[in-house]
Each structure stands twice: as C-alpha cells, then as structure tokens.
Chains A and B, each alone.
Chain A
Amino acid sequence: MVRVRHSSEAVPGSGFIDPRVLARIGNLQLVARSVVDGFINGLHRAPYLGLSLDFAEHRAYMPGDDIRRIDWRLYARTDRYHVKEFEADTNSNFTVVLDTSGSMAYGSGEVTKFDYARFLAASLAYFSHDQRDRVGMVSIAQDVVDYVPNSAKHMDVLLHTVARSKPQGKTDLAASLRKVNELLRRRGIVVIVSDLYDEAENIIQAIAPLKYRGHDVIVFHVLDPAELDLPFDQPTSIEDLETGERLPIVPAALRERYRELIAGHIAALSKGLTNQRIDYALLDTSKPLDDALFTYLATRERLSRVR
C-alpha cells in the first residue's frame, strides 16, 4: 500500500500549489499562473521582490565608491559622505534544465515525478518571466532532447515545449549536462530538475562546470515518496522503467538497506553540491510546490546582491 502524504498549507493560499489539484488542470500556462499568483498572494510582504532602482539604504562612503552616488542632500544635513544603495535589476537569463528520462514517469499517487517537474519548470519560468528575465529551457535524457534559447519572447514556446515533452529513454546526466554547458554561453540562473539517478560523484562533476562558468545553479532533486520509503509490503518483481529489467524482491527484507542507500545518495549529493556552492533541494512529489519556490526565491535574492 502506497502512502500518500497530505500536505499542510505552509503558506496561506498554497492550496493552489498542491500538486494533486494541479494535476487536474490540463493547461500548463494556467497551472503556472495559479501556482505563482497563489504563492505571491500568500506571501503578503515578500522580502525578495524588490525590482530595479528600488532604494535600499544609505551606507558610509568608502574610498573607491563612485562619487556620483554620494547623496549630497544628506551631506548637507550631516556633514558626512553617504552613498545611496539600490536593489538590483533582475534582467538576467533563466534556464530550466528538465530531465525527461523514463524514470521520471513514475508516480505512486496521482502525480508523477514528470508532472511535478513540469509544474515546477513552468511555474519558475512564469515567475522569472514576470520579473523580466529572459527564459529558456533544455530538456535532457540520454542527450539534449529539446532546446529553447533564452529570450524574453520565448515564454509561450517554452510552455509549449514543456507541455509536449514525454518521459522516455535512458538517462545520461553527465553527457547531456556537458552539452547544456556548451549551449548556455551567457551567465544566468540555471535550474536543474531531475531525479538524479546516477553516481553522486558523476552528477557533481557534470554540474560543477556550469558553476565555474559563473551560472547560479539550483538543483531540484524530485523524488516520489515511494522511492524514499519503498513502502511495498508484498514480495514482488520490480521493473526498471528505463531498461525494463526485472528483479524479484521481498521489500520488507530490503527496506532498511534500501533506505540507507537512498539516504546516503541524497546526503552525498547535498554535501558535494553544497561544497561547490550549488543550491540543492530535495522535493517530495506529495508536497506542495512552495518549498521549491522558496528555495528559488532565496537564491534570486542572493544573486540580486551580487550585481
């Protein structure tokens, strides 16, 4: 018996973000709009949404600062030099890398991992488009499957591409991410949505070059609750969705060891990616999308301070 976890509303309005509700909406643009609008309404005074040229604070003048930014009116009042600081512009490149391998087709409840990944990709793209970013996407499996170059006008193309993607074929994350690195020339935000079925070391080695190029990389590791828990209670044959290979197992006997292995894999990915200063978030498909949106917003906020 597969357990389906019922999500609680972490943010008011996050009922709109419940993946089981979203699964019933056919139109991906409508899904993205529901998620982002519901999320923003729930946030009330969002701390991350400062747009360009919003005044942030005064700071004491330091040698090396541009003297054009000195606030002369404040100087007249206080006899001290202060410079004005602003929140950053948010006109950058946003690229979502979507894993469309066969293993993403799995779902123990109403929502498959691929559906969840699509909702997330569409929502983040919609959100970034709203912030005047140039959006683009790459879908990958054994190789690059589809590529939508970054542009402010490509939102519809992106949504169309995401909507018609089908999870099929084997995964070769390392090879396909190398190609993604060649495709993305201009620095920006790269969001990778995948179930990361490969050795942790290979994955980290494949993703790190994106970081070296100056991209801000966020990895969303999408897993079904059944993949984390192995909740089957009857002896059965397990069939690999990518290769069709079968393995007869007694789940109760393997469960503990399986959980250790998957927890070890997650820990290795988390540690390795964090060491490379790459943001990593594990997403459970039974939970609402707001965790993922928060991770993305936190990175956006940090990124805005660099520019």
Chain B
Amino acid sequence: MQFLAPLFLAALAAVAIPVILHLIQREKREATPFPSLMFLSRIPHKSTRRRRLRDLPLLALRVLALVLLAAAFARPLLERDRAARVAGAPAREMVLLLDRSYSMTLGDHWARAVAAARAEIARLGPADRMSIVAFDDGAGVAAQPTSDPAVLRAAVAGLAPGWSVTRYDPALRLAGNLLATSSLPRREVVLVSDYQRAGLGDGLETRLPAGVTLRSVALTSGAVANLAVAGVTFRREQFGGQERVTATARIVNTSERPVEHAAVSLLLDGRTLHTLPASAAPHAAATVAFPAFTLTRAVRGEVRLAADALPADDVQHFALAPGQAIDVLAVEGRAGASLFLSRALEVGGEPGFRVQVGRGAGGELAGTDVVVLNDARITRGEAARLRQFVAAGGGVIVALGPTASGSELADLLPGRPGQVVDRTQSGGAALGYLDLEHPVFELFRTPRSGDLAAPRFYRYRPLQVAATSDSSAVLARFDDGGVALAERRIGRGRVLAWASTFDREWNDLAVQPLFVPFLHELLKHAAGYAEPAAGRTVGEVVDARAGGLADDVDLLAVAPDGSRAEIPAGARALTLAQRGFYTVRPAAGEGQDAAVFAANVDVRESDLAALDPDSLAAAVRTAGDAAPRASAAALPAAELEKRQSLWWYLLAAALALLAVETALSNRASRAARRAREA
C-alpha cells in the first residue's frame, strides 16, 4: 500500500487532542458579562458535566475515527491494480457545438460550418461517440450521443442559422453536462463558430469538467463593412386633429471600415416613403430623421438599409397604431361631484381620456376601462358586477366621500372604511407617508415635481387595511397614520380606494397644481395602461392578448415565415423567435381584428469583432487542469487511486464509528443521570 498525499498522515497527531481536552478542561468560575440573556434563556439548558477519562471505549472509538479520517485524506492506493492499465487508443466522447446565431449568415460562414461538422463526423472511430449541440443565446441537443454517422449527418443537415445572438456559456454548460455522464476515457468538445467577442457577455462562468479538452474550429473572414439599424424612435404630435409621427433611425457601423452615403429607407405597409443617405465612421453611429407622416390607422413599417455583408441586421420592423384613449365611467353620488375630475381628464393626450358621467353603475360596462365611484352609493348587485368587471381586467377607483356606500363595497375595497375623521378644527390633515416607488406616485419623486404635503384634508374616511393581506397594499397615509390610498388586486384588475373626495367637499386637492398629474397617474394605473412598444427583440416573450383579445378564445399566431401556432384559451405567452411581424388573431375568425408584434434582431450580434479561440479554451479550463489531459499511462498512481477510491471506504468507516460513538455516549450519559437521580 502507498499514499498519494502522505503529508496528511501528520494529522494523526490530532489523536492526542481528545485526551488532552479531557485532562485540562476546567470550568470557569467567574461570570462573563453579556448584554442580554434574552436568547440564551430560550435555549433548553444542557448539562455541563464533563466526560471523564474512564470512558475508555468512547475515547478509543474517537481516536480510531481520527486515524481513519487522516488515512482517507492521505489517499491510499493498492499496488496490485497497477497492471490493469488500458492498452491501445482509448475511445472518445465528443460534443460538437455548432453556432447558429444570425452572424453565421455572413458570407459563406454557415456552409463552412456545416462542412467542418461533416469532416468531424467522418473522423469518428468505431468506438467513438458524438453528440451535436446547436446554440445561439440558448443551446439545444440536435443529436444525442451516438456512433452512427448517418444520424449525425442528418442532424447537421436539419440545422439552419436563426435570429438570435451568440452566447457561449449555455452551450459549454450543456456540453459539460453531456460529458460528465460519459464513461469513455477521452472527452472532447469541438466548437464551430465565428468566435464573436460579444458572445462572452460579462465573462464566462462555465468551466468544463476536469480532463475535457476544447478544440476550436474558427470561421473567420477579412474585414467587411457592416451597417446595422440599431433602433427607431417615434415622436407623436397632434396637428390639425390628426396624429403626425416623426421617425428617427439610429444607424451603427460596427466594422473597421467607414461607410459613406448608405441608403436608408422608411417603408409603411411595404411602400417606400422616404430614402435618405447616411454615413458613419468605423465604430460610430449616425442618426437619420425622416420627415413626419400622418397616422390614421394601424400600420406595419420598417427602416431598411441597402443590403450589406450581414443582411440580417439591416432592417428594423415596427408596428404603430394611433394613440389610444382610456374610457372612464364616472358614477357620482352628488350633483357636480365629478366637475373637477372630468375637467382634469380633458387635459393631455398621451393617453387621452374619454369621460362619461352618470348617476348609476348599472349600465353596460363593455368598452369601459375604468369606473370611478365618485362618492357614489351603489347596490350589492352592482358591486358584484363591478367585482366581475375588475376580475376580467377592469379598474375601479372608489372615492369615499360623505354619500359613498359602505358595507355594499366590502367585497371590492382593499379595506373596511372607518368613521369620518373631522380635522377642520386643527387646520386639516396632510399626507404623511407616500409609497414613492409605486407607479401612481413615481412621477412625484423628482425634485420640485409637486408638493404632496400641500393639500389639506378636512374630513376623510380612513381605511382599515389588514397588515397581513397579500392582495392589498397601502400607497399613502395621512399624518395620523390613517390610510389615504390603498390598492387591491382582484383577478386581472385592481381597485384603488381614496379616503376622501375628488372635489372641494372635503379637501382642497382639486385646486392644487398636482391634482391633474395625480389623477392621470391614478387612472392610468387603474386601467393597467402601458406605453405601446413599436418594436421588440427576437427572444422576447409578449402577452398575445395585450391587444384586447379575450381570454376565453383560442388564438392563432402567424410567424413571419408563415408558420402557425395555436395559443389555447387562457394562455397568453408568445415567444418571438423570428425577425419580422407576428400576427395574432382568434383561431375561429379569419380576418378578425388582430394584434401585430414587430420583432427585430438584437444588434449586439452585429459587432463582428472576433475572439482568440485559445483564450476561450483557456477560460473554460478547470483549475488545476492547465495542460491538456495526459494519457492514462502518464499518471498511473493518480489514476489507480481514482479508480480504487479507497479513501471513500475509510471515510464511510470513520463516519460510522462517530455515529456509534454518539449513540454510546448518549447511553452512558443517560445511565449516569439515572444513577445520580437514584
């Protein structure tokens, strides 16, 4: 027998520790000061009686356990297996990583990648196995480990470049996982890629298992000029009752060569509107502002560059619709209670508000986004209808003034309205606490953007919100701690309760400058309004029903390449996997109103700067595995020790001894206690 790490045997000196501890252990007599016994007194008291040296079997067990531990760490091995060395060339487990990001469409990169993969397959030995992983920003197994070249060739033939960006981490992690389970002696990863530096992201986190080698097949080409449309922004203006849109495109030159007078075109519904020239120095950007156009209906558009070496990033798609308004039904309990509210909502246009003032909530709610119960009294039946309206995605704002309902609203409100608090004698209450991170108040976070402590509240009905509620949240409190504004989520919608009025009946908020922006933010939040995005990025997941398509109908999503996917009733998520326009419409109705999503490539991939393949190979190497793995014959002792794994048995025996020692010492202490009690 010999040991790989004999220095660990020095730890045998530790067997003296239990003996010495038994001999020198002394209980301290003086008290130790401590701030508080609050926590110590909660812990059940343990006996401080020392074990004595006469428990010799216990001591022997402990010493033996220490000896076994020291021997295990010294990594023992037996000589007799030395002859059992593997002869001949060992079999190989390979993982071929094939880059399918959109930068592989540059020139003949993809054809060369496929040829390289086929050459690797042709070189496989009869005992070798290979799996194929295609990767971009994610990685997937295209062919499970096999020795059959026909299966591997078919898998390669079925692959094509996608629309995503390069990321090496997921691919290398998957390769590591595939190789970790392999029993073959040689393990290898072959990475076929254009080795873009951008694929490293913030740095590599993956390390390949020890003994795995990484081989590079780098597809490079000389310096090429490449322009990309990095983004399009829009400015909307009302002009003569019509909406005018100005589009501005950002063009980036990611290459080493300058580009002069490249043609940039703006197209709407396939028709070219304007073409302007753009020039950009190497690694610089240029901005192209197109003349404004009138937007009267929903359109599909694109900003397109003249095709260059990498055509995938030469176009940005967008879908635009005329500005949408929020439909508000204000139900008032007193004549004129909604005067300030409706006037405030007439101001502004992004988004606009269409306000309808009524005296009852019993009417049709279809087409309404938000119902404002403005100090209104409603029946239990109307409250139940409103609850259904909220659960389906609507918004309700309740202003609790002098004539507002109380118990009828119990199932709707985030808390129970309390008694009216009268502060007229003390000059009125002010708002004390505000949740400035909430969307309703976020606007007021910036300096000088409205003094929310200025309005005076002479009367209010504070809500009593349960502190443990998950669905309700307090957004504002008065200076006495009473809840001023609270929110409750019901289904897909939300209810906001305001503990005072929206006119001058109980407060002077309505004549303060911040009334208009506060009310706009409140209404926008209640309606769940989100600024519509004109374009999105490939890989993004969107809400397929965001365009107002009902939850209970099956939908059909048509991808840019014409392929169709069903979205069953209740499901909402749609992943944008291709560049271009996705159309979502009810499965049962051809030609019905549809939602359109524009998907564009991530322009990080446009940066064609390459990485040194050797530095990537060095970055994924396991610590201590610096050199490529040596053959089995070069490290016989280490290999034998690894195969025998005697340390494992010694460690298990030591743990078993310690378990026996615990049981024995517990029994001994119980016996001693019984003896004392007797």
Contacts and interface: CB of A to CB of B under 8 A. Distances in A.
B633 interface: no
Which bracket fits the contact residues of A?
35 or more
Which bracket fits the contact residues of B?
35 or more
Interface in A208-264: 208-209, 211-214, 224, 227, 232, 234-243, 245-250, 253-254, 257-258, 261-262
B246 to A, nearest CB: 13
A103 B446 contact: no
Contacts of A236: 27-28, 30-32
A253 B49 CA distance: 12
A237 B37 contact: no
A209 B33 CA distance: 34
A44 interface: no
A224 B43 contact: no
A294 to B, nearest CB: 20
Contacts of B37: 238, 240, 243, 245, 247
A85 B40 contact: no
A103 B517 contact: no
Contacts of A253: 46
A211 B479 CA distance: 9
Interface string A165-201: 0000000000000000000000100000001010000
A304 B445 CA distance: 9
Interface in A73-115: 85-88, 103-104, 106, 113
Interface in A128-150: none
Contacts of A224: 35
B36 A242 contact: yes
A26 interface: no
A241 B36 contact: yes
A46 interface: no
Nearest to B430: A214
B449 A85 contact: yes
Contacts of A62: 348, 517
Interface stretch (A6-14, A31-39, A64-72, A156-164): A64-72
B432 A232 contact: no
A305 interface: yes
A5 interface: no
A206 to B, nearest CB: 13
A142 to B, nearest CB: 14
A306 interface: yes
A63 B347 contact: yes
A238 B31 contact: yes
A305 B447 contact: yes
A106 B33 contact: yes
A278 B348 CA distance: 36
Interface string B459-473: 000000000000000
Interface string B5-20: 0000000000000000
Given A64-B516, A241-B33, A306-B434, A86 B477 contact: no
A267 interface: no
A277 interface: yes
Given A195-B35, A214-B432, A238-B40, A250 B46 contact: yes
Contacts of B477: 212
Contact of A209 (B430, B481, B515): B481
Contacts of B516: 63-64
B43 A261 contact: yes
A307 to B, nearest CB: 8
A246 B36 CA distance: 10
Nearest to A65: B513
A249 B40 contact: yes
Given A63-B517, A64-B517, A246 B447 contact: no
A262 B39 contact: yes
B227 to A, nearest CB: 30
Contacts of A265: 39
Nearest to B467: A275
Interface centre among B31, B445, B479, B481 (most CB of A within 10 A): B31
Contacts of A195: 35-36
A3 interface: no
Contacts of B39: 258, 261-262, 265
B619 to A, nearest CB: 29
17 contacts: A62-B348, A66-B513, A86-B447, A86-B448, A113-B35, A187-B479, A234-B28, A235-B28, A236-B27, A236-B30, A238-B40, A239-B33, A254-B43, A302-B436, A305-B446, A305-B447, A306-B436
A-B CB proximity, top 4 nearest: A212-B481, A214-B432, A103-B35, A64-B516
Given A63-B517, A239-B31, A307-B447, 6 more contacts: A106-B34, A214-B432, A237-B30, A258-B40, A258-B43, A277-B433
Interface of B: 26-28, 30-43, 45-46, 48, 347-348, 430, 432-436, 444-453, 477, 479-481, 513-517
Interface of A: 56, 59, 62-66, 69, 85-88, 103-104, 106, 113, 187, 195, 197, 208-209, 211-214, 224, 227, 232, 234-243, 245-250, 253-254, 257-258, 261-262, 265, 277, 302, 304-307
